[in-house]
Amino acid sequence: MAVYTQVDDAELIAFLATYDLGDLLSCKGIAEGVENSNYYLHTSAGSFILTLYERRVAETDLPFFLGLMEHLATRGVTCPQPVRNRAGEALGRLAGRPAVIVTFLDGYSVHHPEPLHCAALGDALARLHLASADFPLSRANALSVGAWRPLFAPAAARADEVEVGLRDTVEAELDFLERNWPRDLRSGVIHADLFPDNAFFLGDRMSGVIDFYFACNDAYAYDLAICLNAWCFDDEHRFEMEKGAALLSAYQRVRPLSAGELDAFPTLARGAAIRFLLTRYVDWLNVPAGALVKPKDPREYLAKLRFHQTAGAFL
């Protein structure tokens, strides 16, 4: 479970007393996610999500994340909205952590997406990119190509514990990506983590997008590549062409990709695979003692990387 910080009942009740949310009825940890401590919060005013930000999230970035959600909502993107306390502040502190309460979205995550879900995602992602275009704040992508080697280096010696040859594979791929990473593509604010558990559906309709805590400024097509890797492979990590075509076609009906974006897409897909391979690998080695969290297997993204290394252009 993604609960690193436990919340004392009395402290939570005191925290809620600064809001106009009525009485606390229940508070339960949420299993999904790996970055922050999340709770379902039910009060006499309704249902909400309480998030405590752990050390990987810089407190100075929180105005960007919270402001982005408010901005997107004004542009028609359904996403959680920060709840402000009586002092008009969205951000508070609880259990020694920065904390925020956001509105609860109806819907559920699809764990085995079909092509129709991928098409809905493509449409929603393109609309998100258009909606964020005039967001006035910016945030550099701290997990882009320049960060991957420094992220891997301290843990490189243990890579073969995950799979024999992993260290050599990663280092060779980093050499390729550092030489070939595209740098002049159309860019703006991207979600950067739009996995199936961060998209909600009601039936066949996508009802909302959550978890903007990796959002940053980067290439729009890179965001699309992240989604392709997360949504368009089966449980054996094999690429499913019908899902990929549905995602990409729906995206392009709203925001057509340029020739440069199409040419760069195979490299972007490789970069998106190495980024999640590395963060999963580091998390695999560094689960905090006592944390109720199960790290995700980095070998999933090793398989996806290998596909992209041999697939070449498939758009």
- What is the rounded average pLDDT of the residues 42-64? 91
- Site of tokens 């129709």: 116
Domain ranges of the chain: 9-103, 115-311
Return the CATH number of 9-103, one of 3.40.50.80, 3.40.50.20, 3.40.190.10, 3.30.200.20. Answer: 3.30.200.20
pLDDT mean across residues, the chain: 93
Q: What six digits make up the tokens of 290?
A: 């006592």
Q: Are 83 and 126 in contact (CB under 8 A)?
A: no
Whether the full predicted model's pTM is greater than 0.85, yes or no, is yes
Q: Indicate the burial class of 238 (C-beta count within 10 angstroms; 0-12, 13-18, 19 or more).
A: exposed
Question: What is d(CA 12, CA 25) in angstroms, rounded to the nearest whole number?
Answer: 12
Q: Please provide the DSSP assignment of the chain as one string.
A: --B-S---HHHHHHHHTTSS---EEEEEE--S-SSSEEEEEEETTEEEEEEE--TTS-GGGHHHHHHHHHHHHHTT-----BPP-TTS-S-EEETTEEEEEEEPPP-B--SS--HHHHHHHHHHHHHHHHHTTT-S---B-TTSHHHHHHHHGGGGGGGGGTSTTHHHHHHHHHHHHHHH---SS-EEEE-S---GGGEEEETTEEEEE---TT-EEEEHHHHHHHHHHHHSB-TTS-B-HHHHHHHHHHHHHHSPPPHHHHHHHHHHHHHHHHHHHHHHHHHHH-PPTT-B--PPPTHHHHHHHHHHHHH----
Q: How many CA atoms lie within 13 A of 131 on its CB side?
A: 19
Q: Which residues contact 107 (CB under 8 A, 6 or more apart)?
A: 200, 201, 202, 207, 208
pLDDT of res. 91: 95
Question: What is d(CA 225, CA 212) in angstroms, rounded to the nearest whole number?
Answer: 17
What are 142-170's pLDDT values in tens digits?
Answer: 999 999 999 999 999 999 999 999 999 99
Q: Does domain 115-311 have CATH number 3.90.1200.10?
A: yes
What are 240-285's pLDDT values in tens digits?
Answer: 999 999 999 999 999 999 999 999 999 999 999 999 999 999 988 8
What are 98-109's pLDDT values in tens digits?
Answer: 999 999 999 999
pLDDT of res. 296: 87
Question: What is d(CA 172, CA 300) in angstroms, rounded to the nearest whole number?
Answer: 18
Edge-to-edge strands, sheet with 97-103: 24-29, 37-43, 46-52, 97-103, 92-94
pLDDT of res. 193: 97
Q: Which amino acid is at 77?
A: V
